[in-house]
Amino acid sequence: MPSRVSKSIFCNQVGYLTSGDKRFWIQAREAQPFALHTPDGQAVFAGLTKPVGGDWYVGDFTALRVPGTYVLTVGSLEARVVVHRRAYGDVLEAMLRFFDYQLCGVALPEEDAGPWAHAPCHTSDAKVLGTERAVACPGGWHDAGDYGKYTVPAAKAVADLLLAHEYFPAALAHVRPMRSVHREPHLPPALEVAREEIAWLLTMQDPATGGVYHKVSTPSFPPLDTRPEDDTAPLIMSPISYAATATFCAAMAHAALVYRAHDPALASCCTDAAQRAYAWLSEHEMRPFRNPDGIFTGEYGDRELRDELLWASSAMLRMTGDSAWARVCEPLLDLDLAWELGWADVALYGVMEYLRAPSAAVSGDVRSKVKSRLLRELDALAAMAESHPFGIPMRDEDFIWGSNMVLLNRAMAFLLAEGVGVLHPAAHTVAQRAADYLFGANPLGQCYVTGFGQQPVRQPHHRPSVADDVDDPVPGMVAGGPNRNLQDEIARAKLAGRPAMTAYMDHQDSYSTNEVAIYWNSPAVFVVAGLLEAGGR
């Protein structure tokens, strides 16, 4: 039977780090020879693809470590590939600048935002639902493709950026935020960007009780073609919730530590806010948040709240170094909670805060036990990645709304673990495969980032990008990715019967596969910064 090669080479369209792994994928019935040439035809590398499951074959040219732009050929197929020491520098900057494009309440000037500039938006006070009380809560980031601002996912996004700064400052040092929109431009880039969301989060805490409001939004989503400054419906502050208060407490305690050396005044505010939030938690039951009557924006509800308490308690432990907090959070580490880094399942944030707390403040036996479980969790993810044709720790059931976040969170877990001495041999391989997949090495050949690659996301579910007069969307946004549950009308109509990993469409109406979100970009910043810092040494 003659060999059959797919119509495409599936590769990392952004580029390959000089000292990093370099792979591409094809579909075929048997191994295929491949070669790389310079643009003028000089041969630099040759190899043979290997089977990795089903009809997928992988080619590996990791040994090519000479920077340059090359032509990769497999039979009659060609692809352009770039090898560079800072191959991810531009995309990392764009991913971090996305948070500036999401800024609320301020004008984005053309000098920084280019064709995506807009006037100030959502500048009015918000009315606390069911009362006549108005609260000033300016600033922060629009959460996703809509203009709501939600405490729970904001805490995850802030934590990811703070962690990226702590772990990979060298990679982020080259990034340039929008200088004209920041109040504190002397800070390191990730801290400069995160400060805007932290300042907004502080406005969400009730000064009388210490509890934190769940969200501020208009009652309903505006039409998709609404510019930020044209979204003038009244702003409503939804009630205080346990999840919002706990995640706020954790993020503030983390920020208090990180900003001590850079912005002592902010660190002091965060310390006080975290303490008052935890006091509220101590006096209230764990009750899931549900959208009140008349509010139809993102709910971010969560039935399991013990993981939020673990994160808050561990963050307080690390912030204070007081062993009294260890006695609070150590029993929570024994619970059967999912150790993940999502906006709902946040236990792994708590685990990492516990393991990064001063060793004198925690039990050595508990610390060892936690590290052992963390290693087992990573072993399970590594085994999953080993059995996947694209080397990613994903199963069909993991391709849900925001599947790219799921993947990036899992890659992030490996890199976080290294910082506490849990070194897994698959860590950087899994992180690299996640980046390869995100940047185009997937069955659709889709680069899931706007503005990058040969096949970038062009029609995201993102109101500013839909409403502007620019053909291209805001750059640097990570799309949600394949979603086997097909939770929007156009996805159900067009994608029914597709395999889970291909249940995606680049269409502005497909909010369940093609929306963007701050908490999808934040783990992307962490993982890409980690790869760039390791590859740039």
pLDDT tens digit sequence for 198-249: 999 999 999 999 999 999 999 999 999 999 999 999 999 999 999 999 999 9
Tokens of 262: 């850079």
* Catalytic entry in 436, 461, 468, 533: 461
Q: Are 144 and 128 in contact (CB under 8 A)?
A: no
What single-letter amino acid sits at 197? E
Q: What percent of the chain has pLDDT over 90?
A: 96
According to DSSP, the β-strands at 77-84 and 16-17 are: parallel
Report how far residue 122's alpha carbon sits from residue 106's, in angstroms, rounded to the nearest whole number. Answer: 9
Report how far residue 420's alpha carbon sits from residue 65's, in angstroms, rounded to the nearest whole number. Answer: 30
**What element of type H or E holds 60?**
strand 56-60
Residue with tokens 């709501």: 148
Burial class, 442, CB count within 10 angstroms (exposed 0-12 / middle 13-18 / buried 19+) = buried
* Catalytic entry in 146, 263, 353, 515: 515
pLDDT below 70 — which residues of the chain?
A: 1-6, 536-537
* Catalytic entry in 21, 197, 302, 506: 506
| Catalytic (active site) residue 379 | no
Break the chain down into helix, strand, coil percent, rounded to 5: 45, 15, 45
Positive or negative, the Cα torsion across 355, 356, 360, 361? negative
Q: Is the pTM of this model over 0.85?
A: yes
pLDDT per residue as tens digits for the range 35-84: 999 999 999 999 999 999 999 999 999 999 999 999 999 999 999 999 99
| Catalytic (active site) residue 340 | no
Q: Are 168 and 532 in contact (CB under 8 A)?
A: yes
pLDDT of residue 6: 58
Ramachandran angles phi, psi of 386, nearest 5°: -60, -30
| Catalytic (active site) residue 506 | yes
